[in-house]
Structure 1
Amino acid sequence: MAIIQTSGVQITGICSVLPGRYVPNTDLAEVIGEADIQKIIDSTGIAGRRVSGGETALAMARQGASELLSELNWAPDSVGLLMMVTQSADFPLPGNAVQLQHQLGLDKSAACFDVNLGCSGFVYGLWQLTALLQGMNCERALLVVGDTTSQQIADDDRKVAPLFGDGVSVIAVEKQADAAPMTFTLGTDGAGAPYLIQPNGGALNPGKAPALFMEGTQVFVFTLREVPACIKTCLDTHGWSTDELDYLVLHQANKMMLTRLGDKVGVTGERLPMDFEQIGNTSSASIPLVMTGTLAESLKNGETKLAASGFGVGWSWGTVAMTVPPLSCCKTIDFETEA
């Protein structure tokens, strides 16, 4: 397990964007069956999802980043680094980040690139962004995470259609000499690739329609095998016990998985927030969506000791322990179609 610590860098604000379209899972009753869809709702805790009506991850990122820069009063040319973690790029090339640089009016000296990761993407992205920013001659950076996973799914796929929603979060990060350190623990096991995969549309199967496949039992077993130890190692390295945490924010996969993980690491109740009932599993945006949703007021009003753990496609997993200062902006907005 990789263990990394960064310092002198902190999160300043977060703005999440959800698509305007809401789809209740009961709408799938005709395809899946009324009794079966109710069982899925009861076991997962996902009653409905926010899904793209045509808005892409890049379009939502542009709106969220513009809102965040305005709220923080950051001039676009003050941002020297932009990373977008997504598996839903507008095009095979160019990537989303370089397009977003131009759309936001960032200076041409800014370093901008994409990272292809899913549910661990917030933790991996935050590690890479903070590590890079420490050694750069700029003070500010933007981390963008999120996907339109629903566009990779057939409506009649009873395994995954009721689970995945869409959304994007934009996280502002900047250097601060007295910022509390962050500790990261990261892991990878490519043996899990066949169990959570969208095999079509890439170089191997370019002409086939998207068809996300997930073997839920394998995902569950992997998560319980790897994630508790990852969280424990991260907290031990950081010098925290679970009792010292204000919150443990897990990737918002489903109620059953989060409940089991919380029990395993000893964090339950309000300290284990769940915020997926009306938005579904939102891939790499799920952790920051909890922060801009359920935890927004807490994060705006005071310093927060927080651990976040993402896990999924790959297999890929990671945990971060960090003290988040009071955030100047922490909110979720709905996507507005541009005129």
Structure 2
Amino acid sequence: MLKADSNVRLVRDVSVKGVACAVPPRVSEVSDLCEKFGQESVNKIMMSTGVERRHVVTDECSSDLCFAAAERLISDMQVDRASIDTLIFVSQTHDYTLPATACVLQQRLGLPITTAAFDIAMGCSGYVYGLWMAASLLSGGGSKRALLLVGDTISKITSGDDRSVAALFGDAGSATLLDYELGAPAIPFVLGTDGRGSPNLIVPGGAFRDRSGYTSDVQDPDVRSAFDLYMNGAEIFAFTLARVPALVAVLHESIERGADGVDKYVFHQANKFMLDHLVKRMKLDRAKVVLDVKSVGNTSCASIPLALVIDQRDHSLPVSGQYMLAGFGVGYSWAGCIANFDGVHISPLVVMPDLKMGAVQ
């Protein structure tokens, strides 16, 4: 039974059916940065972030990763492509300025031309925002089956000379299938935005505010250009500790059994240091909290579904119970929900070159 709260947005009659993820084949070891940053510095980076290696793209785009994940999910679940009437693509690293990448993916996936397809430009909170958007369309009667594709290739916009990000970000794509299902348990969502934090995690140049990259607001010519990601780690950390515990508390209060009613917590996989602090601050049961950055790093908007897939692979336990999903970061933006994962299909992780052969990792 869900409790009423003005900060909670309830979405009814929607169920998550399946999740799949894909990563590129190239693996980048954090230890390879020792020559540039020094052994001691790199050891500290690995200790605090928990990241030892990441899958990073060469020529692949976010759409390629999401396409691979979608093909795996459609194949594994034997989904009739004609039954998908909505396609949502969430990313900060789109293929083109225009057209929308969702339009390209509709054609690549062979979905009917009656499919509604559109992009959402979101980062760390993007997966939960995408779930909310897809679920709202389904609940309101505007859709019957939605395919949510969420992925980023942040490695393309990070400077290898910037030690604050060079060892942190990996690339991944995901696919999630949602259905309209009358009587399905209501999903509580909590969403928030504070644009005052925008300058603290930003790529200042290259878009229409500054196409030429002349801005100098957050630019350090010796470390990064205006076309590279700038991250103020201290401010992002402070924001996270200020906002996420409140987000989790409201979600706990939205369900009858509170924290006892949550079977697993899957937060945005920012880094080990941040997640450890959150767990301690909120006094969560550590055994219920997923941490899977060691081999993939921070994969931005794809980190939550990727954590689900890796957790399933590593523990081989049936996916069931109430899952709290929460994303937070760039924007500033945050979003969380508690969804019933009983019977949700989780496909094995796809490593892209192996897709045609059916191999998985």
- Which TM-score tier does this pair reach, normalised by the shorter chain? over 0.9
Determine if contact 1:300/1:328 at 8 Å carries over to the other structure: no
Question: Residue 127 of structure 2 aligns to a residue in which SS?
Answer: helix
Look up the match of 1:194. Answer: 199
Question: Residue 228 of structure 2 aligns to a residue in which SS?
Answer: coil
Aligned partner (choices 161, 168, 176) of residue 163 of structure 1: 168
Look up the match of 1:223. Answer: 240
In structure 2, distance between residues paired with 1:2 and 1:57 = 33
Look up the match of 2:329. Answer: 312
In structure 2, distance between residues paired with 1:299 and 1:140 = 28
Q: Give the length in aligned residue pairs.
A: 339
Question: Residue 298 of structure 2 aligns to a residue in which SS?
Answer: coil
Determine if contact 1:15/1:67 at 8 Å carries over to the other structure: yes
In structure 1, distance between residues paired with 2:241 and 2:346 = 34
Look up the match of 1:326. Answer: 343
Unaligned runs of 5+ in 2: 1-5, 214-224, 357-361
Aligned partner (choices 131, 139, 142) of residue 144 of structure 2: 139
Gap change, CA 1:70 and 1:97, over 3 Å in 2: same
Determine if contact 1:72/1:329 at 8 Å carries over to the other structure: no
Determine if contact 2:68/2:350 at 8 Å carries over to the other structure: no
Determine if contact 1:119/1:284 at 8 Å carries over to the other structure: yes
Aligned partner (choices 69, 74, 99) of residue 74 of structure 2: 69
Counting only pairs closer than 5 Å after superposition, residues 104-115 of structure 1 correspond to structure 2 as 104-115=109-120
Q: Which amino acid aligns with 1:59?
A: D
Unaligned runs of 5+ in 1: none
In structure 2, distance between residues paired with 1:41 and 1:150 = 17
Determine if contact 2:68/2:355 at 8 Å carries over to the other structure: no
Determine if contact 1:300/1:326 at 8 Å carries over to the other structure: no
Structure 1-normalised TM-score? 0.95
In structure 1, distance between residues paired with 2:351 and 2:162 = 27
Determine if contact 1:242/1:266 at 8 Å carries over to the other structure: no
* Identity score, percent: 35
Determine if contact 1:133/1:139 at 8 Å carries over to the other structure: yes
Look up the match of 1:267. Answer: 284
Q: CA deviation at 1:330?
A: 3.0
Q: CA deviation at 1:146?
A: 1.2
Look up the match of 2:253. Answer: 236
Q: Which amino acid aligns with 1:176?
A: E
In structure 1, distance between residues paired with 2:164 and 2:285 = 27
Q: Which amino acid aligns with 2:60?
A: E
Q: Which amino acid aligns with 1:40?
A: I
Q: Is the counterpart of residue 7 in structure 1 residue 12 in structure 2?
A: yes
Q: CA RMSD in A?
A: 1.8
In structure 2, distance between residues paired with 1:84 and 1:216 = 27
Q: Which moved more, 1:203-212 or 1:114-123?
A: 203-212
Question: Residue 301 of structure 1 aligns to a residue in which SS?
Answer: coil
Determine if contact 2:123/2:300 at 8 Å carries over to the other structure: yes
In structure 1, distance between residues paired with 2:257 and 2:57 = 39
Q: Is the counterpart of residue 293 in structure 1 residue 310 in structure 2?
A: yes
Look up the match of 1:89. Answer: 94
Determine if contact 1:300/1:327 at 8 Å carries over to the other structure: no
Q: Which amino acid aligns with 1:231?
A: V
Determine if contact 2:20/2:70 at 8 Å carries over to the other structure: yes
Gap change, CA 1:338 and 1:272, over 3 Å in 2: closer
Q: Which moved more, 1:105-114 or 1:133-142?
A: 133-142
Determine if contact 2:63/2:151 at 8 Å carries over to the other structure: no
Gap change, CA 1:182 and 1:299, over 3 Å in 2: farther
Determine if contact 2:72/2:347 at 8 Å carries over to the other structure: no
